[in-house]
Amino acid sequence: MKEHSGFFRHLNKKIKLPPEKDGIAPDSEIEIISIYPHDPPSDWSPSTRHNYQYFITQSTNVVYLSKVNKAVYCIDMSPSMSAVDIQHGQVMLDEIAGALKNSVDGVVRPFVIPGTSYLFEPNLFVTVIVHTPFFTTPAQQVLVQGWRVTSENVDEFLSAILSSWKF
């Protein structure tokens, strides 16, 4: 319940945001850094957001962003994955690398937090394991563990994974 305490502390109350500062350096575990009004006034912008008060209700949408995230990908390397995907005309195993790349690219891509000018750069640690139902050597099931993936090293990360695939 700790992660929701910030929401409940402000429920049915008006809050005001401070002016934007350079970068995000929250002083507490949970900090409100953005509010994006449902129907903003015409002169509202991220640079003028501190001039307004915001009323938090039970219908307020709340999004939490974590400074550090972890993800585990489990790659299915069962024999059925060597079947042909008739919609794309490819062996399904050949599509795994592209799907993994698209997923990881999307998760680590920096983005501007709506209602602010803050660029949020996810800090993601990834583990990739392979599910091989007929081959159970544990050393071959973990391809990478706890790799810090950024938008700059996605290609290096994928190369390390692809070089360990022997098919």
pLDDT in tens, 127-167: 999 887 776 666 568 889 999 999 899 999 999 988 887 54
- Tokens 């390397």 belong to 77
pLDDT in tens, 50-85: 899 988 888 888 777 888 899 999 988 887 777 887
Task: List the beta bridge partners of residue 123.
Answer: 68
Query: Is-above-0.75 flag for pTM?
Result: no
**Contact indicator for 66, 29 with CB cutoff of 8 Å:** no
Q: Which helix (H) or strand (E) holds 72?
A: strand 68-76
CA pair distance 62, 29, nearest whole angstrom: 15
